[in-house]
Amino acid sequence: MPIKLPSFRPRRDAYPPDLWTKCPSCGEMLFNKQLDKVLRVCPSCGHHFRLSAAARLELLLDHGTFAEHDGGLESEDPLGFVDQKAYPDRVAAAQLATGMRDAAVWGTGLVDGRAVAICVMDFGFMGGSMGAVVGEKVTRAAEHALAERIALIVVSASGGARMQEGTFSLMQLAKTVSALERLRAAGVPYVSILTDPTTGGVFASYAVLGDVNVAEPNALIGFAGARVSAGTIAQELPPGFQRSEFLYEHGFLDRVVHRSALRDEVIGLLRYLVARPQPAAEAIEGEPLALPNFRPFSFLTNLAERVLPPETEPAAPPNGNGAGPGSPATPAPSTTGSPESSPPPPAQEAPRG
């Protein structure tokens, strides 16, 4: 009589598929709950996994102090862009996957009791690409920090400008940089945190303009990809090119900080970086707060006076009396006026006798 063995369910059906995560650096299988406890940093090799915007806010801010602003902003489709999928469909799919309206979220909160304006990007939303909404949120965060004179923190994680919005996305570079320039002129601190990856138009605009630029270890930071850069210069790139440690060694970053020490690093920076006191004379009624008084006409006039040579008077042509340019000019007789001011008639010649 054959022996009947009991049936067992496959092991893969007994556990959810997202129970484990494989480290891309060392290949070790990591238990997700344990990985979350160590801030999603591999305990074996120190690889920093990417964080969502919500996890990043929880890491940096005091618990329960974050207040989101402009949460209803959504991307539109001004170009009617369609590739393999229509642009509105891609946005809807990203919203469903991440629970966010767009690739960035901004608001206010407290860091060790100090009020800050903070904007955090999420790479999970269409690669953290910067469209009109992302640029608007970064700009509004900078303007709010300027108005309240509180520190600004921006956490970047992006692949660059969003191609589905074309020139609209490229214009965000100029808009965000101009807002940060007004912040710098007013003496309000700005701390930029660069995470993996920070590339393209985000790298070329607000991500590298901080008063202090801080990055996580081994983060990919650069404008174009390494393959494009190597093909452009026709040379082999050095080891570690476009990684945070490489940029730190060449003076492009101020600090490379482990994720577990990032909050303490920000707290220490905010103790030293305080907004410059605004003199009472600068608060002129009718003028924008802390905006430089720029007059284009006066600027161009002063520039022309410095660059262009001074004008010389043209040489006067010789007059009918043969007087050269150095001779005093003979005043022309006046054709109008009273009879008293007219010249006397010529004297009559005496008769010859």
- Give the tens place of pLDDT for each residue, 14-39: 456 578 999 999 999 999 999 999 99
| Mean of all residue pLDDT scores within the chain | 85
Would you state the pLDDT for residue 337? Answer: 46
Give the per-residue pLDDT at 297: 61
For the cut 70, the answer to whether the pLDDT of residue 273 exceeds it is: yes
164-203 burial, b for 16+ CB within 10 Å, e for fewer?
bbeebbbebbebbbebbebbbebebbbbbbbbbbbbbbbb
Band of residue 278 on the pLDDT scale cut at 50, 70, 90: confident
Q: Give the separation between CA 209 and CA 139, rounded to whole angstroms.
A: 13
What is the percentage of the chain residues whose pLDDT exceeds 90?
Answer: 67
What's the pLDDT score for residue 232? 87
How far is residue 85's CA from residue 323's CA, in Å, rounded to a whole number?
Answer: 86
Q: 283, exposed or middle or buried, with CB in 10 Å at 0-12, 13-18, 19+?
A: exposed
User: Mind giving me the DSSP string for 224-247?
Assistant: S-HHHHHHHHTSPPPTTTTBHHHH
Which stretches does DSSP call E strand in 90-225? 104-111, 114-121, 151-158, 190-199, 212-215, 221-222
Residue 318: the pLDDT is 56
Residue 339: per-residue pLDDT: 46
pLDDT tier at 284 (50, 70, 90 boundaries)? very low
Cβ neighbours around 58 below 10 Å, total? 15
Is 104 within 8 Å of 73 (Cβ atoms)? Answer: no
pLDDT of residue 287: 47
- Residue 50's pLDDT band (cuts 50, 70, 90): very high
Whether 51 has a pLDDT exceeding 90, the answer reads: yes
Q: Residue 71: what residue type?
A: G
Delineate the domains of the chain, giving CATH numbers in brackets.
13-49 (no CATH), 50-279 (3.90.226.10)
pTM of the entire structure? 0.75
Is residue 347 very low, low, confident or very high in pLDDT (cuts 50, 70, 90)? low
pLDDT tens-place string over residues 229-247: 888 888 888 989 999 999 9
| Dist. CA 227–CA 270, nearest whole Å | 38
Give the CA distances from residue 301 to residues 114, 213, 296, 306, in Å, rounded to whole numbers and listed in that order.
Answer: 45, 38, 9, 9
Whether 3 shows a pLDDT value over 80: the answer reads: no
Q: What is the pLDDT of residue 110?
A: 98
Give 138-181 pLDDT, tens digit per residue. 999 999 999 999 999 999 999 999 999 999 999 999 999 999 99
Residue 213 has pLDDT above 50, yes or no: yes
Mean pLDDT of 189-199: 97
- State mean pLDDT over 288-305: 60
- The H or E element that residue 303 is part of is helix 296-307
pLDDT interval class at 289 (50, 70, 90)? very low
Mean pLDDT of 206-220: 97
Confidence of residue 315 (pLDDT cuts 50, 70, 90): low
H or E element in which residue 135 lies: helix 132-148
Range from 109-113, 189-193, 320-324 carrying the lowest mean pLDDT: 320-324
